[in-house]
Structure 1
Amino acid sequence: MADERIRVAMLHDPDADGLGDYLAHLVRALDEAGVRVEPVPVGPGGLTAGSRAAREVRRLHPDLVHVQLPSTAYRLPGLLPGLLPRATPLVTTLHADGDHDGHRAGRLATALRHLTDRLTPGSAAVVVTDPRIDVPGAAPVHIPVAPPVADQPGAATQGRRMRARLGLPEGAPLLAFLGPAGPEGGLGHLVRALPELRRAHPDLRLLVIGGGTVGDPADEPAALARRYAVADAVTVTGPVGPDRLSAALHAADVVVLPAVAGVGATSGELLTALAHGVPTAVTVPDGGDGEPHRAGAVAVIRQRADSAAIVAAVGRLLADPVLRRRLAERGRAFVAAYTWPRVAAAHLELYRRTLGRAGG
Structure 2
Amino acid sequence: MDRDQIRVAMIHGPAPADLDGVSDYVERLMHALGDVGVAATSVRVRGDGSAVGWLTATLRAAREVRRLRPDVVHVQFAPSAYRFSGLPGLLPPLLPPSTPLVTTLHEYGWWAAPGWVPDAVWRPLERARLWDRETGRLVPASAAIVVTNQEHARQVSLRTRGRPIEVPLAPNVADHGRGPGLDGHGDVLAFFGFVHPVKGIRYLLEAVACLRARRPGLRLLVIGGFTSQALPEAEALAYRAELDALAERLGVADAVTFTGHLPAAAVSEALHTADVGVLPFTAGVTAKSGALLTMLAHGLPTAITVPDDPDPRVLPDTVAVIPARRDAAAIAGTLERLLGDAALRRRLTESGRRLAARHSWSRVAAAHRELYDSMVGAAYGRRNA
TM-superposed CA distance for 1:21, in Å, is 1.4
2:5 maps to 5
How far apart are the structure 1 equivalents of 2:220 and 2:69?
51
TM-superposed CA distance for 1:114, in Å, is 1.8
Question: What secondary structure is seen at the aligned counterpart in 1 of 2:145?
Answer: strand
TM-superposed CA distance for 1:237, in Å, is 1.5
Question: What secondary structure is seen at the aligned counterpart in 1 of 2:70?
Answer: coil
How far apart are the structure 2 equivalents of 1:57 and 1:33?
22
Question: What secondary structure is seen at the aligned counterpart in 2 of 1:237?
Answer: strand
TM-superposed CA distance for 1:291, in Å, is 1.5
How far apart are the structure 2 equivalents of 1:288 and 1:92?
26
Q: 1:222 to 1:108 in 2, by over 3 A?
A: farther
2:125 maps to none
- Single out whichever of 40-49 and 255-264 deviates more from structure 2: 40-49
Alpha-carbon contact 2:111-2:133 (below 8 Å) kept:
no
Question: What secondary structure is seen at the aligned counterpart in 2 of 1:36?
Answer: strand
TM-superposed CA distance for 1:275, in Å, is 0.4
2:276 maps to 254
Question: What secondary structure is seen at the aligned counterpart in 2 of 1:200?
Answer: coil
How far apart are the structure 2 equivalents of 1:241 and 1:224?
27
Alpha-carbon contact 1:284-1:293 (below 8 Å) kept:
no
Structure 1 counterpart of 2:28, which letter? H
Question: What secondary structure is seen at the aligned counterpart in 2 of 1:191?
Answer: helix
Alpha-carbon contact 2:45-2:61 (below 8 Å) kept:
yes
Alpha-carbon contact 1:265-1:289 (below 8 Å) kept:
yes
Alpha-carbon contact 2:86-2:136 (below 8 Å) kept:
no
TM-superposed CA distance for 1:139, in Å, is 1.0
2:367 maps to 346
- Single out whichever of 345-354 and 8-17 deviates more from structure 2: 8-17
How far apart are the structure 1 equivalents of 2:31 and 2:194?
26
Q: 1:302 to 1:110 in 2, by over 3 A?
A: farther
Question: What secondary structure is seen at the aligned counterpart in 2 of 1:312?
Answer: helix
TM-superposed CA distance for 1:14, in Å, is 2.0
How far apart are the structure 1 equivalents of 2:136 and 2:76?
16
Q: 1:107 to 1:287 in 2, by over 3 A?
A: farther
Spell out, residue by residue over 1:270-312, the C-alpha distance to the aligned partner (whole angstroms, 9 max, x if none): 0000000010000002336341123x11100010110011011
2:22 maps to 19
Could you list the runs of 5+ residues in structure 1 that have no partner in the other structure? none
- Counting only pairs closer than 5 Å after superposition, residues 194-205 of structure 1 correspond to structure 2 as 194-205=208-219
Q: 2:36 aligns with which of 33, 36, 44?
A: 33
TM-superposed CA distance for 1:46, in Å, is 2.8
- Counting only pairs closer than 5 Å after superposition, residues 280-359 of structure 1 correspond to structure 2 as 280-287=302-309, 289-294=311-316, 296-356=317-377
2:175 maps to 151
2:293 maps to 271
Spell out, residue by residue over 1:8-47, the C-alpha distance to the aligned partner (whole angstroms, 9 max, x if none): 1111112272112101110011111001111111111232
Given the alignment of the two structures, is residue 52 of structure 1 paired with residue 73 of structure 2, yes or no? Answer: no
Question: What secondary structure is seen at the aligned counterpart in 2 of 1:236?
Answer: strand
TM-superposed CA distance for 1:107, in Å, is 6.6
RMSD after superposition: 2.4
Q: 1:238 to 1:218 in 2, by over 3 A?
A: closer
Q: 1:192 aligns with which of 163, 186, 206?
A: 206
Structure 2 counterpart of 1:176, which letter? A
Q: 1:195 to 1:19 in 2, by over 3 A?
A: same
Alpha-carbon contact 2:9-2:72 (below 8 Å) kept:
yes
Given the alignment of the two structures, is residue 207 of structure 1 paired with residue 221 of structure 2, yes or no? Answer: yes
TM-score by length of 2: 0.82
How far apart are the structure 2 equivalents of 1:284 and 1:196?
22
Structure 2 counterpart of 1:192, which letter? E
2:119 maps to none
Alpha-carbon contact 1:94-1:126 (below 8 Å) kept:
yes
TM-superposed CA distance for 1:207, in Å, is 1.1
1:43 maps to 46
Q: 2:249 aligns with which of 227, 235, 243?
A: 227
Given the alignment of the two structures, is residue 64 of structure 1 paired with residue 88 of structure 2, yes or no? Answer: no
Spell out, residue by residue over 1:179-223, the C-alpha distance to the aligned partner (whole angstroms, 9 max, x if none): 232211111100011121112211111111124256272554422
Q: 1:315 to 1:110 in 2, by over 3 A?
A: farther
Question: What secondary structure is seen at the aligned counterpart in 1 of 2:133?
Answer: helix
Q: 1:113 to 1:193 in 2, by over 3 A?
A: farther
Q: 1:80 to 1:143 in 2, by over 3 A?
A: same
Spell out, residue by residue over 1:123-172, the C-alpha distance to the aligned partner (whole angstroms, 9 max, x if none): 111001122111122211011110010110xx31x1xx3312xxx22xx1
How far apart are the structure 2 equivalents of 1:69 and 1:298?
29
